[in-house]
Amino acid sequence: EDQVTQSPEALRLQEGESSSLNCSYTVSGLRGLFWYRQDPGKGPEFLFTLYSAGEEKEKERLKATLTKKESFLHITAPKPEDSATYLCAVGGGSYIPTFGRGTSLIVHP
């Protein structure tokens, strides 16, 4: 059974204080590791897909990296508008993605 564990559950940062979110996973036959951002009361917004260990992708202040057991979402010099819940999911052989519980990020001005 595919499993995804995200840590920390919640993270408070000061504006400009860089940090990383962790996503540990077990999956049989990784078809992709996905990162989403979700604002309260809205649907998840797709951010990145990573397919193989060593792969990195960037978008504005976000950079996602992947190893064989975990993925990191690095947030550089965050701004208050980066406050959201960040969800990680893995797609395995069943094509049904398994989601983690998310990390709730609050960036204080």
Closest CA to 44 of 8, 6, 91, 86: 86
Residue from 27, 78, 91, 103 touching another protein (CB under 8 A): that is 91
Asked if 29 interacts with another protein (CB under 8 A), we say no
Residue from 13, 100, 105, 107 touching another protein (CB under 8 A): that is 100
Structure tokens at 108: 């204080």
The Cα 39–Cα 44 span in angstroms is: 7
Cβ neighbours of residue 40 closer than 8 Å, sequence gap 6 or more:
85
Asked if 34 interacts with another protein (CB under 8 A), we say yes
Task: Name the residues that contact another protein, by CB under 8 A.
Answer: 31-32, 34, 36, 41-46, 49, 87, 89, 91, 94-97, 99-102
